[in-house]
Amino acid sequence: MNQKEHKPATDTNYNILEKSEVLIGEHTIDNAIQKIAEQLNQCYQQSQFKGEVISTFCIMNGGLYFSGQLLRYLNFPVKLSFLHASRYGDNTHGQKLTWTVKPKASDIEQQHILLLDDIFDEGLTLEAIAKECQQLGAKSVCSTVLVNKQHDRKPKSGFKPTFSGLEVEDRYIFGCGMDYKGLWRNLPSIYALKA
């Protein structure tokens, strides 16, 4: 990690759970992940995918937790890699899209692509990644997220993930791959600051 981008944790960041509440518990999240896996298993049993390897990309850093939990339930062969594009960094508000690891044409062209990410918030990052994969000649692009945040600030194009597991209200959330100022992605439940 670039040290310039890393912000030191303050005592407030460590004690944030005391000021937060669980919005979605671990059991509900595990069930949602298993349901997504069932949908993906069914999807990739279709004839156009028979005998094909699915090129699966974890969208870093947020998608790491979700990907790790989901992959163990998939019953089709995957080639696993990662991409990294962000509008947030360690900030709580979106900025301009920045690519850290961009897809290569050789990894995308004539491949069936499965994108795994943590949250569909405003959706601009996931939309840009999916478009990049299409422009690089993917046979198909499927996008899957753990959480869809409910609000009306979605892409004007109408883009949305192929599959999503949970709906969550329009609050700043963290846990299950989503961070609070760069921390707490490791939590097995989804939290929000108390209102």
Model confidence pLDDT, tens digit, residues 102-148: 989 999 999 999 999 999 999 988 999 999 999 999 999 999 999 99
Quote the CA–CA distance of 132 and 139 in Å, as a whole number: 13
Domain count for the chain: 1
User: Sorting pLDDT into bands at 50, 70 and 90, what band is 9?
Assistant: low
Tell me the pLDDT tens digit for each residue of 64-93: 999 999 999 999 999 999 999 876 555 545
Domain contains 162: yes
Q: What are the angstrom distances between the C-alpha of 132 and each of 82, 118, 141, 143?
A: 14, 19, 10, 13
Instruction: Show the domain range for 88.
Output: 26-168
Domain contains 15: no
Domain contains 52: yes
Amino acid at 117: D
Q: What are the angstrom distances between the C-alpha of 130 and each of 28, 102, 104, 111?
A: 28, 12, 13, 13
Residue 4: the pLDDT is 39
Residue 97: the pLDDT is 76
Tell me the pLDDT tens digit for each residue of 30-61: 999 999 999 999 999 999 999 999 999 999 99
Domain contains 118: yes
Domain contains 143: yes
Residue 5: the pLDDT is 42
Residue 11: the pLDDT is 56
pLDDT at 6 over 50: no
